[in-house]
Amino acid sequence: MPEPFALLIIVIIAAVGFGIANGFNDAANSVATVIGTRTLSPRAAIIMAAFFEFAGAATGSAVAITIGKEIVDPEFLTTGIVLSGVVAIIIWALITTHYGMPISLTHGLVAGLVGAGMAMGGTRIIIWRTLARVFSAVGIAPVQGFTATASASTVIELASHYGLPVSTTHCVSSAIMGVGATRCLSAVRWGIAKDIVLTWVLTFPAGIRNSQ
């Protein structure tokens, strides 16, 4: 049955809202280090980020295919499920941004789709093998990012090639902690790091809960 046109418009508006929420939280992390260290001015950093993020979106679609077709069975994926998933992560992004916690909106969107899918069609419409790959990427990305910023870039590029939605937020945040730890363990604010990691963990259940 064709989706109502009005619902499609609402989904498009929600997608724009998702982009704005992503700019508030997730996307900002890609330029946080160069602005914080004054390597680049905020204007130059934002221009550079806008160019390369657009280039990345234009040259690779594997992650988009994973999220769009391999989280919820395409046969059962509806506009309503997509809308619920997007709204769920927008809510979570606004909450975490208010408290200054960096999260992965990519992982939040995955969680939102899973929650909405289970609410509307049960566990049978979720493609669990893909979800297992996403969870494996959640563990790999921060570890690699902690090694060095170069490692983080490599992880993101390889993961994008294979369609794994890893988090740039996780990689960059971990890389910053890793650089600080090489100078002195006490140079890292481990209390804040703990809160950040806890927020990462809560992103999946929060996305699932908000979408149901």
Beta bridge partners of 126: 72
Residue 137 CA, chain-centre distance (Å), reads 12
* Exposure letters 112-134 (e unless 16+ CB within 10 A, then b): bbbbbbbebbeeebbbeebbebb
Cβ proximity of 118 and 212 under 8 Å = yes
> What pLDDT does 161 receive?
63
The token pair at 9 is 């418009």
Start-end of H helices in the chain = 5-24, 29-36, 42-59, 62-69, 79-98, 105-121, 128-147, 149-161, 168-183, 190-210
The phi, psi pair for 126, rounded to 5°, reads -90, 135
Task: Domain ranges for the chain, please list them.
Answer: 5-203
16: exposed, middle or buried (Cβ count in 10 Å: 0-12, 13-18, 19+): exposed
> What pLDDT does 35 receive?
75
**Total-model pTM:** 0.67
Distance in angstroms (rounded) separating the CA atoms of residues 137 and 133: 6
Q: pLDDT by residue for the chain (212 residues), tens digit each?
A: 456 778 888 888 998 998 888 877 766 666 776 676 676 788 887 887 788 777 777 776 777 888 888 999 999 999 889 999 999 989 998 898 888 887 888 888 999 999 999 998 999 999 998 888 888 777 666 555 555 555 555 666 666 666 666 666 666 666 666 666 666 777 677 777 777 777 777 777 877 777 77
